[in-house]
A and B are shown apart, each in its own frame.
Chain A
C-alpha cells in the first residue's frame, strides 16, 4: 500500500532528459495552478472579511476560547469515542467469535445482527437511541446526546469490530489451531487460550484506526442533536467573537486532523512493529480505514508488488486459513 509513492515506480522508467524536462514543466504548471487556486480562495476569503486579525486573534490571545469552548468540546468528543470503543470491543469480540461458531443457531443470528447494523447509517442509530432514551428512560436531557451518540456508535462499531475480530482469528496460521487440537484442547479452549489472545495482537492496529472513525462520527452528535462536542463549539465561539465561523471551523478542523493523525500514526507504528516481529505469527489485520473499517466487508488484501513477501492482511470472508495468512515463521 504505502510503497507506491516513494520508491521509483514500476509504472514509469527512470526519467531521461526529455522526460525530466516534461516532468519539470508539469510540476511547474500544476504547482502554479495550485498556488493560483489557493491564492484565489484566500483573496475571496479576505474580501469577505474572514481573514481579519479580529476574527483569528482570539484563538491566540484569549485563552478562554480554549478553556471555555475548545478543550471541553475536545474532552466530550474523546469521552464519547472512548466509551464507544470500550463498550463496542467486548460486544464485537462476542459477535465475531459467535460468527465462527460451529453451530448454525449461534452463527446465523450473530451474522444477521452484524449485517443488519452495518447496513444502517450510524446517524439513524443515533437518532433512534436519542428518542428511545427520551421515551423509555429518565436519562437527563443534558446527558442524553452523549448516551445517544455512544449507543449509536456502539451498535455500529460492535458489528464492524466483530468483523475485525473474525479477521484477526482467521489471520492466524492454521498450525495454531492444529497444534492446540493435537495437545487435546477443545474448540472452546483453543479459542480462549490460543486463538483469541493472538488475534488481539493482530487486531490492535485496526482497533486504533477504528478509533479514528469513531472520533469522526461523534461530530454527528454535535451537528444533529446538540452534543457539546468539538464541532458544536464553532457556533458558540462565533456567537461571542464576531461571527468568526470560518476561523473557528479551521481551528476545529486542525484539531481533528492532528488528533486523528496521531492515532493513525500510532496504528501504523503498531502494525509495523507486529509485522516486523521475528517471533509470533506476524499476522495482522489491516489498519487502513478505507480498506477495512468504514467499509462493508474487509476487501481482499492487495499483495504489494514491491513489498511482497511480508504477510498481508487476510481476507476474512474467505473460508480458508491457508495461503497468504500470516505464514512467516
Chain B
C-alpha cells in the first residue's frame, strides 16, 4: 500500500517534471532574453550570409548592456544606436524590424559568433582591426569613437602618462583592453570582466580608478539617470575606433549591400537622427559619419 503510494508519487514527480519541461519547450523562445523579438526560432541563423538577399529574417548580434548603443531595457526592448543602425540596414536588406532576431554578442565572443554562422551581422561597437579581419570581414565603418577613460566626477586624469598609475577596468577581448596592455599603460593594473557593467560598481566605490573603452560607450553609462553626477569622461583621445558591421569573411555581396545601406542612412539624415536620439541625451558630440573604407 505504502509502496504503491510512494511509487505513485514517483510517477507524479516524473509526470510533473515532464509537463514542466513540455511547457518550457513551447515558449523556449520567449524565455531566453535573447530572441524574444521573433518567434521563428533559430532558423534565421543557419542561412549565414544568404539571409541578406533572402529577405526573410536576420540574426544580428548586439550588446545587451550598453546604454545608448545596445541595451536590453526593463521593458524587454532593445535600444541604442547600434540597434537603430542594425534595424535600418536590415530594412535596406529587405527584412522587417519584427523579423530581426537579436542575439547578445559579448566582446570576447564576436568573431566566434560570425565564424560559426550564428549571426548574420554583428553591430556591437565592433572596431575594425586588422587582427579581426583575419577571421571575419567588416562593412562600414558607420561611426567613429575614441578610447577614453570614465572616471569619478570629482577626479581628473589629464595626461596619458598618468594612466600607468591607475587601476583600470575593461572587458576581455576588447580593443581597449588590448591597447592598454600593449601601448598606453602596460604598468597599470587592469581588471578584465565579461561586461562593462561589472566594472561600474568598482568604479563607483573606488576599487578601480577608471573604466576604459570607447567614449561613446562611456558617455552612455555616464548619462544613465541612476549615475547622474557620479562619473565623467576624462577627455583623452587615446585612439580612433571605427565601428564596422561584422560579417562572414569574404562575403562581399553582403558587405556591399551593407555599405550601400550605411551610405544611404547617412545621406537621408537617418544616421544623424539616430546619433542624436541615442547619444544626444548623454551630451556626446559625435563626429561626422566616417568614410566607408571596407571595400575591395
Q: In the complex, A touching B, CB below 8 Å?
A: yes
Task: Report whether A197 and B34 are in contact in the complex, using a CB–CB cutoff of 8 Å.
Answer: no
A207: chain B residues at CB < 8 Å are 13
Map CB proximity to A onto B170-204 as digits: 1 under 8 Å, 0 otherwise. 00000000000000000000000011111011011
Known contacts A134-B116, A141-B119, A241-B226; is A279 also within 8 Å of B42 by CB?
no
Say yes or no: is A195 at the interface (Cβ < 8 Å to chain B): no
CA of A64 to CA of B64, assembled, Å: 16
Task: Report whether B204 and A140 are in contact in the complex, using a CB–CB cutoff of 8 Å.
Answer: no
The closest CB in chain A to the CB of B193 belongs to A235
User: Count the A-B residue pairs with Cβ separation under 8 angstroms: how many?
Assistant: 164
CA of A52 to CA of B254, assembled, Å: 49
Task: Report whether B32 and A76 are in contact in the complex, using a CB–CB cutoff of 8 Å.
Answer: yes
Task: Report whether A242 and B205 are in contact in the complex, using a CB–CB cutoff of 8 Å.
Answer: no
Task: Report whether A201 and B103 are in contact in the complex, using a CB–CB cutoff of 8 Å.
Answer: no
Cβ-neighbour of A228 out of B34, B195, B226 (below 8 A): B34
B18: chain A residues at CB < 8 Å are 86
Known contacts A79-B31, A200-B10, A235-B195; is A242 also within 8 Å of B17 by CB?
no
The closest CB in chain A to the CB of B195 belongs to A235
Interface residues of B in 53-71 (CB under 8 A from A): 59, 64-67, 71
The closest CB in chain A to the CB of B118 belongs to A141
Map CB proximity to B onto A216-246 as digits: 1 under 8 Å, 0 otherwise. 0000000000101000000110111111111
Say yes or no: is B14 at the interface (Cβ < 8 Å to chain A): yes
Say yes or no: is A191 at the interface (Cβ < 8 Å to chain B): no
Task: Report whether A243 and B226 are in contact in the complex, using a CB–CB cutoff of 8 Å.
Answer: yes
Known contacts A50-B201, A86-B21; is A204 also within 8 Å of B64 by CB?
no
Task: Report whether B201 and A238 are in contact in the complex, using a CB–CB cutoff of 8 Å.
Answer: yes
Task: Report whether B74 and A242 are in contact in the complex, using a CB–CB cutoff of 8 Å.
Answer: no
Say yes or no: is A26 at the interface (Cβ < 8 Å to chain B): no
Least CB distance from A310 to B in Å reads: 16
Number of interface residues of A (CB under 8 A): 57
CA of A86 to CA of B35, assembled, Å: 26
Task: Report whether A142 and B72 are in contact in the complex, using a CB–CB cutoff of 8 Å.
Answer: no
Known contacts A54-B226, A235-B65, A235-B198; is A141 also within 8 Å of B13 by CB?
no
A138: chain B residues at CB < 8 Å are 46
Number of interface residues of B (CB under 8 A): 62
CA of A287 to CA of B224, assembled, Å: 48
Cβ-neighbour of B3 out of A64, A76, A201, A239 (below 8 A): A201
Task: Report whether B21 and A68 are in contact in the complex, using a CB–CB cutoff of 8 Å.
Answer: no
CA of A235 to CA of B72, assembled, Å: 11
Say yes or no: is A48 at the interface (Cβ < 8 Å to chain B): yes
CA of A72 to CA of B28, assembled, Å: 10
CA of A134 to CA of B65, assembled, Å: 25
Least CB distance from B224 to A in Å reads: 7
Interface residues of A in 239-268 (CB under 8 A from B): 239-246
Say yes or no: is B6 at the interface (Cβ < 8 Å to chain A): yes
Say yes or no: is B45 at the interface (Cβ < 8 Å to chain A): yes
Map CB proximity to A onto B1-34 as digits: 1 under 8 Å, 0 otherwise. 1110011011001100110110011001111111
Task: Report whether B17 and A86 are in contact in the complex, using a CB–CB cutoff of 8 Å.
Answer: yes
CA of A76 to CA of B206, assembled, Å: 35
Interface residues of A in 133-157 (CB under 8 A from B): 134, 138-144, 146
Say yes or no: is B109 at the interface (Cβ < 8 Å to chain A): yes
Interface residues of B in 28-54 (CB under 8 A from A): 28-35, 41-43, 45-46
CA of A204 to CA of B9, assembled, Å: 9
Say yes or no: is B99 at the interface (Cβ < 8 Å to chain A): no
CA of A87 to CA of B41, assembled, Å: 23
Interface residues of A in 162-212 (CB under 8 A from B): 197-198, 200-201, 204, 207-208
B203: chain A residues at CB < 8 Å are 243
The closest CB in chain B to the CB of A145 belongs to B32
A47: chain B residues at CB < 8 Å are 205
Map CB proximity to A onto B76-116 as digits: 1 under 8 Å, 0 otherwise. 10000000000000000000000001011010010001001
Task: Report whether A243 and B201 are in contact in the complex, using a CB–CB cutoff of 8 Å.
Answer: yes
CA of A201 to CA of B4, assembled, Å: 9
B30: chain A residues at CB < 8 Å are 72
Least CB distance from B70 to A in Å reads: 10
CA of A198 to CA of B74, assembled, Å: 49
Cβ-neighbour of A72 out of B17, B33, B65, B224 (below 8 A): B33
Task: Report whether B17 and A85 are in contact in the complex, using a CB–CB cutoff of 8 Å.
Answer: yes
Least CB distance from B59 to A in Å reads: 8
Say yes or no: is B132 at the interface (Cβ < 8 Å to chain A): no
Interface residues of A in 86-111 (CB under 8 A from B): 86, 89
Least CB distance from A139 to B in Å reads: 7
A82: chain B residues at CB < 8 Å are 17, 20-21, 24
Please indicate which of the listed interface residues B28, B31, B67, B75 has the most CB atoms of chain A within 10 Å of its own CB. B31
Task: Report whether A226 and B104 are in contact in the complex, using a CB–CB cutoff of 8 Å.
Answer: yes
Given contacts A141-B59, A204-B6, 14 further A-B contacts (CB under 8 A): A64-B74, A68-B75, A82-B21, A134-B116, A200-B7, A204-B10, A238-B200, A239-B67, A240-B65, A240-B67, A240-B72, A241-B226, A245-B201, A280-B6
The contact sample of 26 A-B pairs, CB cut-off 8 A, is A64-B76, A68-B33, A68-B75, A72-B33, A79-B25, A82-B17, A82-B24, A83-B21, A140-B43, A140-B118, A142-B32, A142-B101, A143-B28, A143-B41, A144-B118, A197-B3, A200-B7, A201-B6, A204-B9, A226-B106, A236-B64, A236-B72, A238-B200, A240-B65, A240-B74, A243-B201
For the complex of A and B, list the 5 residue pairs with the smallest distance between their C-beta atoms, beginning with the closest: A140-B42, A242-B226, A141-B118, A48-B205, A239-B65
